[in-house]
Structure 1
Amino acid sequence: MWIVLIFVIITIGYFLFFWIIPFSLKGAIYDPSNKEAVKKMVELAQIKPGEKSVDLGSGDGRVVIEFAKKGIQAHGYEINPLLVIISRINIRKAGLKGKAFIHWNNFWKVDLSQYDIITVFQVSFAMDRLEKKLMYELKPGARVISNYWTFPNWRPSKYEKDVYVYEKKINYIFYE
């Protein structure tokens, strides 16, 4: 009897924190990037010393942590408060406090112009709006790395294994 009750409570909690809350806060569901995709995102980013990265919808912080491990300042924006707590715990466990940061905020309301590398693993219906936001906010030389989903109008400068890299050139994104 107790096992069934505990299972029901855990199931309800899972749906509440990873499905219902994100949708009510206008966020996506929690669907983390797998380890291979994260590794490929870091590799394709071609990180340079002194750069800053940001992960939009940072989930449990795994992308932020991997970028911080490469020696750059890494940020993440997450709207789900439970995932923010989990991310911050993961950052402490990784020994990256002061190098990796998770912000409890809606990334749609944040100016992204300070970042050199932007990583995303969003859903298809968000990519058009995100493309427009990034077009206007990113500085020249910024790179956008997208796991799985593509932008409707931009052409990637490179891609491997469902990871796409887009580069902002001067005042526009090259369309090839």
Structure 2
Amino acid sequence: MWVLIILLLLLLTYLILFWIIPFSLNGAIYDPSRKKDVEKMVEVAEIKGNEVSADLGSGDGRVVIAFAKKGIQAHGFEINPLLVLLSKINIRREGLKGKAFIHWKSFWKADLSRYDIITVFQVDFAMNKLEKKISKELKPGAKVISNQWTFPKWKHSKYEKGIYVYESENYPAS
């Protein structure tokens, strides 16, 4: 009996942390990007010099870590405290402290104007709202790289194996 109660509590905790909270805050569930998709995102970013990247809904930090390994400052925004902790452990394990940063914060409340590269792996219903936010905040010359999902109004400048690249000069501010 106690085992069943513990299992139900664990299932309920999982559902709350990884499904209900993300959806209620207009974001995606925790669905980590595949290694090949992360590699493609880094490749199509065409990283230059001292750029700064941000991953919106950074999950376990794998995209942030991949960009930091390429030598740029990489930030992630994540609302799930367990994933924030896991990301910080992963960053420390990779020896990227001071290059990779995870913020326990909703990306909806973050100012994105300082970032040169924004990466996203969101769901369809979030992309419309996100398109409006990014249009208002993104600086000239910045890129947005989306894993699998497209923005409703923007035209991508590049598409490779499920990864879309949008460049700031190709879309107007809202």
- Summarize the Cα distance change of 1:2–1:95 in structure 2 as closer, same or farther, 3 Å threshold: farther
User: Offset of 1:86 from its aligned partner?
Assistant: 0.8
Q: Where in structure 1 do 4 or more consecutive aligned residues deviate above 2 Å? A: 1-17, 20-28
Is residue 2:128 matched to residue 1:98?
no
Give the equivalent residue in structure 1 for 2:154.
154
Following the alignment from structure 1 to structure 2, what is the Cα–Cα distance between the partners of residues 6 and 108? 34
Aligned AA (1:144): V
Give the equivalent residue in structure 1 for 2:67.
67
Give the equivalent residue in structure 2 for 1:173.
171
Equivalent residue of 1:48, what SS? coil
Query: Is there any run of 5+ residues in structure 1 with no aligned partner, and where?
Result: none
Is residue 2:144 matched to residue 1:144?
yes
User: Offset of 1:12 from its aligned partner?
Assistant: 3.6
Equivalent residue of 2:168, what SS? strand
Q: Confirm or deny: 8 A CA contact 2:156 2:165 kept in the other structure.
A: yes
Matches within 5 A, 1:78-157: 78-157=78-157
User: Offset of 1:56 from its aligned partner?
Assistant: 0.3
User: Offset of 1:8 from its aligned partner?
Assistant: 4.6
Following the alignment from structure 1 to structure 2, what is the Cα–Cα distance between the partners of residues 106 and 14? 19
User: Offset of 1:64 from its aligned partner?
Assistant: 0.2
Following the alignment from structure 1 to structure 2, what is the Cα–Cα distance between the partners of residues 22 and 106? 10
Give the equivalent residue in structure 2 for 1:163.
163
Residue identity over aligned pairs, in percent, reads 69
Q: Confirm or deny: 8 A CA contact 2:27 2:126 kept in the other structure.
A: no
Query: Is there any run of 5+ residues in structure 2 with no aligned partner, and where?
Result: none
Q: Confirm or deny: 8 A CA contact 1:27 1:79 kept in the other structure.
A: no
Equivalent residue of 1:127, what SS? helix
Q: Please give the TM-score of this superposition, normalised by the length of structure 2.
A: 0.91
Q: Confirm or deny: 8 A CA contact 2:61 2:90 kept in the other structure.
A: yes
Q: How many residues get paired? A: 172
Q: Please give the TM-score of this superposition, normalised by the length of structure 1.
A: 0.90
